[in-house]
Amino acid sequence: MKEHEVGELQTINQQVMIDLIGNDHNEIIRFQQQFLIQAKQSLQHIATFYRTEQLAKIKEEAHFLKTSAKAVGAEICAHHLQTLEDSSQEQDKATCKLHIQSLSEELKRVYHCITPNG
Partner 1 sequence: MARKEIEHIERHPKVVLLCNKVEELSGVSDIISSQVSAFRVLTKMHDIKEVLLESAPLVIIIAMPSVSASIELYRQLAQLGFLDYPHENILLCENKESGVGFRCCMKHVFSDYFVYKPMYENYRLRMILHNALLRCKNAHDTTHIREEHFGKIDESLKQLIDDAAVYHVDAQQTLTNARKNLEQAKGVNDIQTALMKELRAQHIDPLLDQLEKKLAMSIEELTNNLKNKQITLAELSALLIEKSLPETTRSATEYAAEDPSDKVIALTNRNIKIMVVEDNEIYREMISKILIDEGHNVEAVSSGLVAIKKLKKQKYDMIFMDLFMPELDGYNTTRNIRNINHCKNLPIVALTSNKNKELIRKWATLGLTAYIAKPSTKHSILKTVEKAKRALAS
Judging by beta carbons within 10 Å of its beta carbon (0-12, 13-18, 19+), is residue 101 exposed, middle or buried? exposed
Using CB under 8 A as the binding rule, whether residue 14 contacts partner 1 is answered as no
Q: Is 31 or 50 the residue whose CB approaches partner 1 more closely?
A: 31
- Cα–Cα–Cα angle for 31, 65, 104, nearest 5°? 95
Binding footprint of partner 1, residue count (CB under 8 A): 27
Are 11 and 1 contacting, i.e. CB atoms less than 8 angstroms apart? no
Q: To the nearest whole angstrom, how small is the minimum distance from the Cβ of residue 84 to partner 1?
A: 14
- DSSP letter at 91 equals T
Is there binding between residue 116 and partner 1 (CB under 8 A)?
Answer: no
Question: If binding is defined by CB under 8 A, does position 47 make contact with partner 1?
Answer: no
Site string for partner 1, 53-92 (x = CB under 8 A): -x-xx--xx-xxxxxx-xxxx-----------------x-
